[in-house]
Amino acid sequence: MKTTLKLGAVTLVTAASLAACGSADYCDTYKKAQEDVGDFDVSDVDNYEKIQDYIGQLRDAAPNDDVEQAWKTADETFSKINTNLEEAGMSFSDLKKLTDAEGPEDLPDGVSKKDALKFAQNMRDLRKNSNMDEAKKTIDDYAENNCEAE
């Protein structure tokens, strides 16, 4: 279960660290996002909310349809993670506790073993069915080919 939960966290971190620039608005928004959230800590609810906001802003400022679709994929992935958490009766802050849990006694308060296992399965399914890796590649490739080096 730890591996599956870490995959969920990797999805979040990946979405947070996707790098791309192009138009001035897009680059400015991306740079501001990096300054505001830096390394995304999956247990930091404030950063999680900021990242969701930035994903929307970067999607709206995307320099082309492919990059826009990649940000839509990131946004959809975040939404599905939220849904998975809600269905398990958990909050985002519970994710870090759940990731570190070594047994049922380590589960967040109010989270049953059944709910934790269902969440883990939903995250495995999300990882398997998500196009997040492809989205990251699209954004990274665009950045590499079209953005000024810092």
Alpha helices in 88-111 (DSSP H): 92-100
- 38 CB-contact burial (10 Å; exposed 0-12 / middle 13-18 / buried 19+): exposed
User: Distance between CA atoms of 99 and 2, rounded to whole angstroms?
Assistant: 5
The tokens describing 145, both together, are: 């080919």
Confidence of residue 23 (pLDDT cuts 50, 70, 90): confident
pLDDT digits (tens, 9 = 90+) for 54-105: 889 989 989 999 989 998 998 898 889 889 888 888 887 787 777 777 777 8
- pLDDT band, residue 50 (cuts 50/70/90): confident
Which residue matches tokens 């001035």? 24
pLDDT of residue 13: 47
- Cα–Cα dist 67/122, whole Å: 27
What is the per-residue pLDDT for 150? 46
pLDDT at position 147, please? 60
